[in-house]
Amino acid sequence: MKALVYAGERSVRWTDVKEPQPVEGEDIVDVLVAGICGTDLGAVRNGRPPLPNGLTFGHEFVGRRRRDGALVAGNPILSCGICRSCREERRHLCERRKVLGVHRPGAFAQSISVPAGNLVETGALDLIRAAMVEPIATALHAWRLSSTPCSDVAVLGAGPIGMSLLHVLKAHRIKNITMTDIVPERRALALQCGADIAIEAADAVYDAIIDTVGAVATRRNAIENVRVGGSAVLVGLHAAELAVAGGPIVAGERTVQGSFGYTPDEFNEAIVLAASLDTRWITTIPFRESEQAFSALLAGSADPACVKLHFSVAD
Ligand SMILES: [Zn+2]
Ligand SMILES: [Zn+2]
């Protein structure tokens, strides 16, 4: 079967790989649509997280479960079920956490083997929205960790997670949503999709700020502009370092909160939220064009108005 794999040296290749074989406790899913995430780009570009050479990556997908033909989205976070985090209902923080497309073959392939309990039926949801369940779950989790004020929230970065957050905030009827991005086309899209303000960087005081970029500058921007006693939620993983002055955190009792993934319940909730997603910022291309398209994203030569790229794997 065909797959998009990590080819080493910051490159990817669309190539032939072995089909997954049936394994006890897992289901084989024939992938229909899979989405590129900033994590995929970061792994290839910076080696964080490191990918083994030849690994099929991709962790956002919808497909048809071979056993019964049901349409399913896959929760890519695999947990052990017995460690302390798992017992405390925080399976996304499992001590033995594995992620599809990072530690084992992922979704940029014609089929994928997934532990049966990680598949969730998407019912009547269309394929483009069903492939967005994973990033929407990521956004929902970050929002929950922000201590959920009802107005004046800033989201840094109008990329896929930022735009998913905009959707989650609108669904929760949050007033005064500010989106930031350095790319004008993305600010325009954020306004079209319901942001109240779109600017280059946060420049006021906000009840909560969620940084979906993870650059040194955006992390600082988040922590320095959140109100006294408020929380800056860090989701993006672009930079390894966090370089901020400690004064505002200590003297203003600001909380710096990391956010990773989502709980299984949040993944299920994201299916409901996905149904009303505005999808105008998502572009879908045939899977056979994936190597070229991914390479353009890596090189920074892709259309800036294409915020999210989906592969139509069935074509
Ligand atoms: Zn992702
Ligand atoms: Zn565990």
Alpha carbon of 252 to ligand 1 centroid (Å): 32
Task: Quote the CA–CA distance of 262 and 83 in Å, as a whole number.
Answer: 17
Buried b (16+ CB within 10 A) or exposed e, 16-26: ebeebeeeeeb
With a pLDDT cut of 90, the percent of the chain lying above it is: 84
pLDDT digits (tens, 9 = 90+) for 165-192: 999 999 999 999 999 999 999 999 999 9
DSSP strand pairing (2-6 vs 12-16): antiparallel
Residue whose structure tokens are 């970050």 = 142
Q: How confident is the model at residue 97 (pLDDT cuts 50, 70, 90)?
A: very high
Alpha carbon of 38 to ligand 1 centroid (Å): 7
DSSP symbol at 19 = P
* pLDDT score of 13: 96
Alpha carbon of 37 to ligand 1 centroid (Å): 4
Stretch 116-140: mean pLDDT, rounded?
97
Task: Quote the CA–CA distance of 133 and 128 in Å, as a whole number.
Answer: 9
- Residues 6 or more apart from 108 whose CB is under 8 A from it? 3, 4, 5, 31, 34, 56, 57, 58, 101, 287, 290, 311, 313
Alpha carbon of 253 to ligand 1 centroid (Å): 31
Residue extents of the structural domains in the chain? 2-131+278-312, 139-258
Q: How confident is the model at residue 141 (pLDDT cuts 50, 70, 90)?
A: very high
**Coil, strand or helix at 97:** coil
DSSP strand pairing (175-180 vs 151-156): parallel
Say if 2-131+278-312 and 139-258 have the same CATH topology. Answer: no
Residue 49 CA: which ligand is closest? 1
Alpha carbon of 39 to ligand 1 centroid (Å): 6
CB atoms within 10 A of CB 52: 12
Alpha carbon of 88 to ligand 2 centroid (Å): 9
CATH number for the domain formed by residue range(s) 139-258: 3.40.50.720
**Coil, strand or helix at 152:** strand
Alpha carbon of 91 to ligand 2 centroid (Å): 6
* pLDDT score of 242: 83
Alpha carbon of 79 to ligand 1 centroid (Å): 17
Angle between helical axes of 264-274 and 160-171 (0-180°, round to 10):
80
Is the CATH code 3.10.180.10 the one for domain 2-131+278-312? no
Tokens of 292: 């070229």
Helices (H), 226-279: 247-251, 264-274
Q: Which amino acid is at 127?
A: L
Provide the mean pLDDT of the chain.
94
* pLDDT score of 305: 79
Q: How confident is the model at residue 94 (pLDDT cuts 50, 70, 90)?
A: very high
Strand partners, 138: none
* pLDDT score of 46: 83
Q: Which amino acid is at 19?
A: E
